Amino acid sequence: MSAHQVFAPLTKGCPVFKISQPITVLREPQQFYKQLIHGIKHAQRHICLSSLYIGSEETELVAELKNALARNTKLQVRVLLDCLRGTRTDSAGMSSAALLAPLVQQFGEERVQVFMYHTPALSGLSKQAWPQRYNETFGLQHIKAYIFDDDVIISGANLSRDYFTNRQDRYMRISDPQFSDYFVRLVSTIGQFSFRVLNGDQATGYKLEMADGVADPTRDPREFVREANELMAQFLHRAEIEHAVEAGSISEHDTLAIPTVQMRQLGITQDESHMREFFELVHAFARNYKSRSLMASAYFNFSDQYKRSVLDSASRWDLLVASPQANGFYTAQGISQYIPDMYSIIEHEFAHMARARNDISIEEYMRDGWTFHGKGVWSYLNQPLPQLTMIGSPNYGYRSIYRDLEAQVTVVPGNTQLQKDIHQEALGLLAHSKIVSQDELKQRTRGSPLWLRGLKPFVMKKM
């Protein structure tokens, strides 16, 4: 049975794209940055950037956007960021919004649109009570997709200096006009229920406005959810109809790209259902054949349902996460410095639950001077090369399912070269990783303060 047959149920209820052009698997942050700059310089029709935030130090990237807009009067730019993170200021008072507002002023809203999505879970007095950084635990715009005409770079990486230098993530460039149009429309749809960045306030350098007739999530969250759900449901329904495929029309030589989104705060659970179906298909296959899969996340904070799916699966599973030293919070100050220890506690508890299985392993990424932010799935079934990969923004934790806006793409390769490229990507990550045992994790967490364990429910649902 071919992988296309095994995973055929994943094509139901989702748009499916047959990709005819070669897919490029990028391996290093520097390659990612070069592709971003190349895309900005060569785009003729539109540039569309969806990220959590743009680092306030990324003046070169913004300058390239400015130059591209000045060279080509037909070029349009859309940027989608999270409102809470995108308006957070650094020590110099700069933010993503302040960095981009001059583009809106210079080239006008007709050509430059900057959207800031705001969670409906933080409104009224609670919004005023929670300080910057901590307010982001309520929910974020977390989708990472970078579109330049017909090219789409799917990633989990944000647009800041560490993601371009020494913060390891995943990056895949897919070239297809219909696939690109899907993501442009996704960003535009979210933009319809997001704040727009306009030139204005002298203190901040910008002002935020909701589109006319759209409820403000900070004032009327219930109506906002109703309106946002309606817009997203219409978008997803249209995409499913326009890009549906019959199972019989799929050949094992077709490379399939299946995008899914998750926005549970808005009543959208497409990716959650997709993941549930995937785990069931892998389990059913593994009951008759040997099977193995690799699942990666920046943090060992997998949701309870995903951990249970791994533990109950007949397949072999390898889990790849950041070591404490490769965790982005390792050098943090204040209470955040204890977050890597908390993940080790959660990791040890899972290792204890999996102690009766010799086919479930935990590997930690450790590379001197680097942090790890990779996420995704590689499913080999019973073959030496991957038969499927998932790539995108979800970390597969509680907040990926319940709090944030997420998008990932399931790719079923239709040729050996792409399978080899995806396999080499996985091997490259594992080359900087090592398996950790239950005893090692027990020793690591032995000296953890008791109060830290008391914070576990908060970390599991908020981080």
Q: How far apart are CA 83 and CA 89, in angstroms?
A: 12
Kind of pairing between the strands at 371-372 and 171-175: unpaired
Following CA atoms 186, 187, 191, 195 in sequence, which dihedral angle do they give, to the nearest 10 degrees? Answer: 140
Neighbour tally for 120: CB within 10 Å: 21
88, two tokens? 């957070």
Query: Is 149 a known active-site residue?
Result: yes
Instruction: List 391's β-bridge partners, or say none.
Output: 409
Question: Is 142 designated active site?
Answer: yes
Residue 249 neighbours by CB distance under 10 Å: 9
Residue among 142, 307, 373, 375 flagged as catalytic: 142
What amino acid is encoded at 240 in this protein?
A: E
- The first and second tokens of residue 100, run together, are 């981009």
The sign of the torsion formed by the CA atoms of 415, 421, 424, 428 equals negative
Alpha helices, DSSP H, located in 75-218: 83-86, 96-107, 124-129, 161-165, 177-192
Taking Cα atoms as reference points, which of 102, 99, 93 lies closest to residue 160? 99
**Per DSSP, which regions of 280-328 are E strands?**
292-296, 316-322
As a whole number of angstroms, the distance between CA 272 and CA 400 comes to 9
Spatial separation of the C-alpha atoms in residues 168 and 180, rounded to whole Å: 25
Question: Cα separations (Å) of 242 from 38, 75, 308?
Answer: 31, 26, 35
Residue 178 is encoded by which pair of tokens?
A: 């219909």
Which of 4, 18, 82, 149 is labelled catalytic? 149
Q: What is the token pair recorded at 136?
A: 């982001």
- Residue type at 56 in one-letter notation: S
CA distances from 220 to 163, 217, 370, 457 (A): 36, 5, 42, 29
Tokens 């399912």 appear where?
Answer: 401
What is the rounded distance in angstroms from the CA atom of residue 9 to the CA atom of residue 61? 41
Q: Which of 4, 18, 66, 144 is catalytic?
A: 144
- Residue 73 CB burial class (10 angstroms; 0-12, 13-18, ≥19): exposed
Location of structure tokens 């030139």? 199
Give the closest residue to 352 by CA, choosing from 285, 344, 9, 430. 344
Cα 183 to its chain centre, rounded Å, is 14
Alpha-carbon torsion 216, 222, 227, 231, what sign?
positive
Residues recognised as catalytic: 142, 144, 149
